């Protein structure tokens, strides 16, 4: 064999020593317990690309930008298929709710993306700014200086009520409470490991609970879709935009398609997660907190930001970007190979499950100087590529709601930080945990001080110290 042919021949992927009786489900359970730590260990031991079984690479890990570029620029080879492992019955409400953009590929994905995109452009989402600000101010009016607030619950309520209004134009308390309860229950049972490991409609199973909850959510969504069509769909909410969306040939989304995309648009759990981590990181870096408060107060003058002011908060922008770098809400994503393919020097079979992680990629020292340091100023010096910084994904499946998410988070923080100085309760335990998004597992208790109060970083315990270098 010539030297050229030898250089081109595929080689075996790196990976762990094989242990008898330890199958992929056992490894998967360990991974789901703490994906961020698991992926970092996989990268540390085996490099930017590896497999659980190097001789039979059905479960592959890819962390470096060159591999991510392949994944994102070849969507016909590396296909999205959320919930494939759960084997959801195709005729179920569970299937229809989850059959949105995150699961579609090829022409169906391009069509849905084309129909949905107008509702989520950077300019179009500005119509929702007043709703975000109003919901935030109403919720914060119930807070009092000196209170200890469980930030997960408090911020999740703001985000949930915002979604109710902006996505569905719901403001009736009884409808909000009903849908909020159902969504919360579904997120809880769908994220349970047993739902993945035991996907059968059995009495008492988490999978059955998910199926029944989805049926109730779908019934509510169908009711709202039919209401929109009956009254001419004249509102500015996202559901109305989706109902009215028309393709070049005059076709529109069917009821089943609207159910999936409306549910996809409604799920804003990642915004709650990022807001919590941002408040924690600001608490641990009081100098940055002081500068952000000064910027927001100077620009906004005590009120919520208007459309123009949202673009004049560069430090707040940088703080959110740095939070998303260190603690991206989705530290674990998956693609499946649709056919055998060359992957760098390696050969992947059809049907391989390829895991990738922005959490790991955002910590590569060749891209980020001192990667564990919270340093919003790095965004004045560093310009990572699309495949080196990807909190919202990249390529055809990048997050369609990213502009709305940034508007929402900036508005909530601008209002909150002008009213209160949240400070972590001393000696709290802060462990990262994978629920639907990467969140503090104990809810992040914070005491509310008056704005402008000087505070020191609160001592804390927990594995968050593995993720970020803290005082």
Residues 223-234: pLDDT tens digits? 999 998 888 778
In tens, the pLDDT along 68-115 reads 999 999 999 999 998 887 789 999 999 999 999 989 999 999 999 999
CA 390 to CA 385: how far, in whole Å? 9
Helix intervals (H) in 50-150: 65-73, 93-97, 106-116, 129-140
pLDDT digits (tens, 9 = 90+) for 288-322: 999 999 999 999 999 999 999 999 999 999 999 99
The answer to whether 267 is annotated as binding is: no
The residues of the chain that CATH labels 3.30.43.20 are 3-88+332-361
DSSP SS3 for 140 = helix
Closest CA to 96 of 251, 259, 246: 259
| Calpha distance 42→463 (Å, rounded) | 17
Q: Which two tokens stand for residue 88?
A: 């959801």
CB 201 within 8 A of CB 211: yes
Note if the pTM is more than 0.85.
yes
Q: Residue 19: its pLDDT value, please? A: 66
Cα(54)–Cα(50) distance, integer angstroms: 7
Dist. CA 254–CA 256, nearest whole Å: 5
| CATH code for residues 3-88+332-361 | 3.30.43.20
User: Range with the lowest mean pLDDT among 107-121, 189-203, 249-263, 438-452?
Assistant: 189-203
The C-alpha angle with vertex 263 and arms to 306 and 160, in degrees rounded to 5, equals 45
For domain 99-169+235-329+391-467, give its CATH number from 3.30.70.890, 1.10.630.10, 3.40.190.10, 1.10.10.10.
1.10.630.10
pLDDT band at 121 (very low <50, low <70, confident <90, very high): very high
Mean pLDDT, to the nearest integer, of 358-379?
97
Are 408 and 159 in contact by the 8 Å Cβ rule? The answer is yes
Could you tell me the two tokens for 429? 């335990």
| Helix, strand or coil, per DSSP, at residue 456 | coil
Asked if 242 and 253 count as a contact pair (C-beta separation under 8 A), the reply is yes
Q: 401-414 pLDDT, tens per residue? A: 999 999 999 999 99
Considering the chain, tell me which residue range(s) the CATH 1.10.630.10 domain(s) occupy.
Answer: 99-169+235-329+391-467
Tell me the average pLDDT of the chain: 92
Q: Which residues pair with 354 in a beta bridge?
A: 60, 335
Give me the pLDDT at residue 298, please.
Answer: 98
Task: Taking residues 207-229, report their average pLDDT.
Answer: 94
- At residue 146, the pLDDT reads 97
Q: Of 125-134, 173-182, 189-198, where does the model show the most confidence? A: 125-134
DSSP per residue, 318-373: HHHHHHHHHS-S---EEEEESS-EEETTEEE-TT-EEEE-HHHHTT-TTTSSSTTS
Q: Which two tokens stand for residue 191?
A: 């994220």
Nearest residue to 368 via CA among 326, 335, 330: 326
Q: Crossing angle of helices 286-300/269-284, nearest 10°?
A: 120
- Cα 447 from chain centre: 26
Task: Calculate the CA 442 to chain-centre distance.
Answer: 19
Cα distance between residue 471 and residue 372, in whole Å: 12
pLDDT (tens digit per residue) in 433-461: 988 899 999 889 999 999 989 889 999 99
Rounded CA separation 467/452 (Å): 28
């Amino acid at each position: 064999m010539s030297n050229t042919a030898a250089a081109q021949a595929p080689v075996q992927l790196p990976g762990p020593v094989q242990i008898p009786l330890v199958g992929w489900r056992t490894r998967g359970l360990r991974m789901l317990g703490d994906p961020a730590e698991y992926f970092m260990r996989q990268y540390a031991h085996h490099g930017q690309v590896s497999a659980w079984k190097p001789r039979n690479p059905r479960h592959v890990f890819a962390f470096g930008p060159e591999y991510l570029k392949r994944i994102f620029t070849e969507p016909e080879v590396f296909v999205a298929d959320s919930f494939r492992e759960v084997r959801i019955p195709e005729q179920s409400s569970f299937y229809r709710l989850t059959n949105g953009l995150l699961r579609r590929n090829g022409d169906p994905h391009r069509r849905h993306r084309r129909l949905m995109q107008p509702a989520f452009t950077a300019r179009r989402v500005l119509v929702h700014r007043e709703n975000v600000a109003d919901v935030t101010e109403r919720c914060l009016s119930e807070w009092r200086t000196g209170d200890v607030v469980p930030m997960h619950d408090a911020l999740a309520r703001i985000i949930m009520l915002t979604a109710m209004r902006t996505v569905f134009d719901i403001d009736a308390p009884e409808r909000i409470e009903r849908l909020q309860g159902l969504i919360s229950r579904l997120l809880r049972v769908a994220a349970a490991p047993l739902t993945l490991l035991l996907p059968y409609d059995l009495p008492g199973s988490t999978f059955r609970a998910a199926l029944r909850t989805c049926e109730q959510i779908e019934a509510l969504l169908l009711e709202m879709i039919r209401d929109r069509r009956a009254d001419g769909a004249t509102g500015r909410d996202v559901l109305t935009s989706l109902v009215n969306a028309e393709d070049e040939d005059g076709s529109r989304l069917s009821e089943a398609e609207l159910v999936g995309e409306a549910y996809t648009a409604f799920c804003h759990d990642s915004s709650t997660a990022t807001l919590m981590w941002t408040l924690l990181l600001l608490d641990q870096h009081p100098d940055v907190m002081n500068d952000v408060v000064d910027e927001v107060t100077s620009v906004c003058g005590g009120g919520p930001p208007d459309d123009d002011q949202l673009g004049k908060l560069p430090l707040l922008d940088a703080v959110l970007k740095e939070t998303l770098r260190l603690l991206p809400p989705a530290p674990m994503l998956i693609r499946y190979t649709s056919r055998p393919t060359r992957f760098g020097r390696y050969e992947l079979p059809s049907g391989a499950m390829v895991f990738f992680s922005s959490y790991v990629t955002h910590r590569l020292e060749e891209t980020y100087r001192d990667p564990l340091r919270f340093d919003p100023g790095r965004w004045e010096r560093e310009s990572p590529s699309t495949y080196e910084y990807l909190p919202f994904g990249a390529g055809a499946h990048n997050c369609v709601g990213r502009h709305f998410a940034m508007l929402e988070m900036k508005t909530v923080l601008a209002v909150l930080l002008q009213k209160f100085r949240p400070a972590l309760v001393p000696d709290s335990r802060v462990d990262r945990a994978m629920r639907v998004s990467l969140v503090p597992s104990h809810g992040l208790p914070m005491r509310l001080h008056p704005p402008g109060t000087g505070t020191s970083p609160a001592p804390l315990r927990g594995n968050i110290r593995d993720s970020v270098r803290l005082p």
